[in-house]
Amino acid sequence: MFSSVKAFEGQHYSSLKKQCMQSGVLFEDPLFPAVDDSLFLHGNRIGRVCWKRPQELCDDPQLFVDGISAHDLHQGQLGNCWFVAACSSLASRESLWQKVIPDWRDQEWDSEKPDSYAGIFHFRFWRFGEWVDVVIDDRLPTVDNQLVYCHSNDSNEFWSALVEKAYAKVYGCYEALDGGNTADALVDFTGGVSEPMDLLEGQFAQDELGRNQLFERVLKVHNRDGLISCSIRATTVEDMEARLDCGLVKGHAYAVTDVRKVRLGHGLLAFFKSEKLHMIRMRNPWGEKEWSGPWSDSSEEWKKVSKSEREKLGVTVQDDGEFWMTFEDFCQYFTDLIMCRLINTSYLSIHKTWEEEVMRGSWVYQDDPLRNRSGGCINHKATFLQNPQYVFDVRKVEDEVLICLQQKERRATPKEGKSENLAIGFDIHRVELNRKYRMHSSQQKVAGSIYINSRCVFLRKELKEGRYVIIPTTFDPGQQGDFLLRVFTDVPSDCKELMLDEPPQTCWTGMCGFPQLVTQVHVLSAMGLQGQDSNGASDPYIIMTCEGEKVRSPVHKDTRSPNFDIKGLFYRKKPKDGIHIEDVCGLGVILDFVTIWILGPKLPNRIFYHCVAEQTVLCFYILS
């Protein structure tokens, strides 16, 4: 998580407020003025708008009325249900909204200290790897004395309208928020990592085992303060915001506000009964139009649950946009799920912690192939390896790795004609254990993300011990932009960018020589181990040596026939010297498959491979 905070557009809240207090003038934001350009992309479409401060709309304005909750938000005349749904999720997490709304007590209207009011507020969002502090004035757009956009149930509560204004300022205007991705807003509120799930592709409606495993993941994210959203995909324009017979709305973002295992039955029977129902609660940002199927607010199914359990769940019979449904029904109707998890990097936590590496980079097009860093996806074989490359290590026998690639926001500058995100993605290649320089030939691809024009792409993958290279790319070559790469592993991965194409030449090169050949040794497997321990098993590993450089393989526990599948890369000044593959355990490994690739420039006409097998050492000599 990133802790430093940067002033958005150089506006510092404390100094601006101090100036207003000294001058006795309410703040008017020169960077986001009360004009139509702050509202619309393509001209006024709602009539005459009057900008008013909260005290002009009610007698007792408050930031919060009776605290903060998901019910405080109602979507206005803007298609930003994605943003309002994210705000609904945020409202349920005190530790998170207090980061978005800093020092909220000091920002609250104080009737006892009216002189402390300066008409200025500030909010914080996580933008491209850093928290930014966004200053606004409190002039809000109204028509007929009513707020045009996001508003609360209580006419004197304004936190939701003010947060929306700050977010609109970041994007350039309110109308730039019309249509968007809930995952982006969830990340902006938390600095977390959003994982999208295609429920149709996963076939969770039919697969009970998979559905139960997914529920446990969703429950874990919820219990660890993650934010969750969902939607039903609209396949046509006519489908957008079309209401189904069950009350759900297509093409519309819902906030997940609770996830529970609900105990069925009454009294002691319920306590001792093992049957529990997997349930999920959602909220429609419209504040109305709820699910009308089983377990809806007034359905008969709630009689199966004790009164105390219903009270604990907060079941209410009113059309407030919030409703429960079983996770089975949820997977039947909803098509997309977004889980924004907070990646725990604290060493003091009792929960699983992650090691995070953050890399900033750019896709930059140049005519020179050695300098070009915009080669497009792997479909463009001639230029693919010209993209930026990042190497990292997996140091466990097997480790779950989370990778998030984020491009710099383009929606935030729509008036400059940069409103379309690039289609981005990445591939992961397993490489030699001692890889230090950029790849110039394709290697074993072990995973890859989808390519999509969203702000972020995410991949979760189990990887075996070894060294890997991530190649983040745009889909098409020649496209330019900045990106942020975040890699999360269980133990430090030492992720870094591969900058050099080959070993650099120094003042000693003429005296000591420069590599004439690049040789890759690939050991696939070994068999017929001798000298094993009393249990009939061994812990073999091998060491490859060339001109003083050593590459050690991972240890293979309790086996006599390990599948090494490891590679070493050697830049050789003396092509006639041998490459040694050594069994340092003294167990007499007999290698079954060894592949040697000469990757240098021009090969000699005749290459002779001479293998001498001793009890503990295998030596490969490459002779011309």
Query: What residues act catalytically?
Result: 81, 252, 284
**What are the backbone angles phi and psi of residue 160, rounded to the nearest 5°?**
-65, -40
Q: How many CB atoms lie within 10 A of CB 279?
A: 21
Beta bridge partners of 363: 481
Which amino acid makes up residue 266? Answer: H
Inter-residue contact 246 to 292 (CB < 8 Å): yes
Cα–Cα distance list, 160 to 38, 123, 611 (Å): 18, 11, 74
CA atoms within 13 A on the CB side of 109: 18
Inter-residue contact 524 to 565 (CB < 8 Å): yes
Packing angle between helix 182-190 and helix 81-91, nearest 10 degrees?
40
Inter-residue contact 493 to 394 (CB < 8 Å): yes
**What are the backbone angles phi and psi of residue 183, rounded to the nearest 5°?**
-60, -40
How far apart, in whole angstroms, are the C-alpha atoms of residue 449 and residue 464?
18
Which tokens in the block code for residue 605?
């006409």
Residue located via tokens 């709602």: 46
Ranges of H-type helices in 129-180: 159-171
Q: How far is CA 239 from the centre of its chain?
A: 29
Inter-residue contact 9 to 132 (CB < 8 Å): no
How far apart, in whole angstroms, are the C-alpha atoms of residue 185 and residue 371?
35
How far apart, in whole angstroms, are the C-alpha atoms of residue 68 and residue 84?
14
Q: How many CB atoms lie within 10 A of CB 79?
A: 16
Looking at 49-119, which runs of residues are DSSP E strands? 50-52
Which tokens in the block code for residue 433?
């254990």
Largest alpha-carbon pair distance within the chain?
Answer: 93
Sign of torsion over alpha carbons 572, 578, 581, 585: negative
Inter-residue contact 579 to 617 (CB < 8 Å): no
Which tokens in the block code for residue 601?
């420039």
Cα–Cα distance list, 349 to 193, 287, 343, 352 (Å): 18, 37, 11, 7
Q: How many CB atoms lie within 10 A of CB 522?
A: 18
**What are the backbone angles phi and psi of residue 186, rounded to the nearest 5°?**
-60, -40
Which amino acid makes up residue 117? Answer: Y
Buried b (16+ CB within 10 A) or exposed e, 465-488: bbbbbbbbbbbebeeebebbbbbb
Provide the 8-state DSSP code for 545.
Answer: E
How far apart, in whole angstroms, are the C-alpha atoms of residue 60 and residue 114?
12
User: Helix, strand or coil for residue 571?
Assistant: strand
User: Helix, strand or coil for residue 463?
Assistant: strand
How far apart, in whole angstroms, are the C-alpha atoms of residue 372 and residue 239?
43
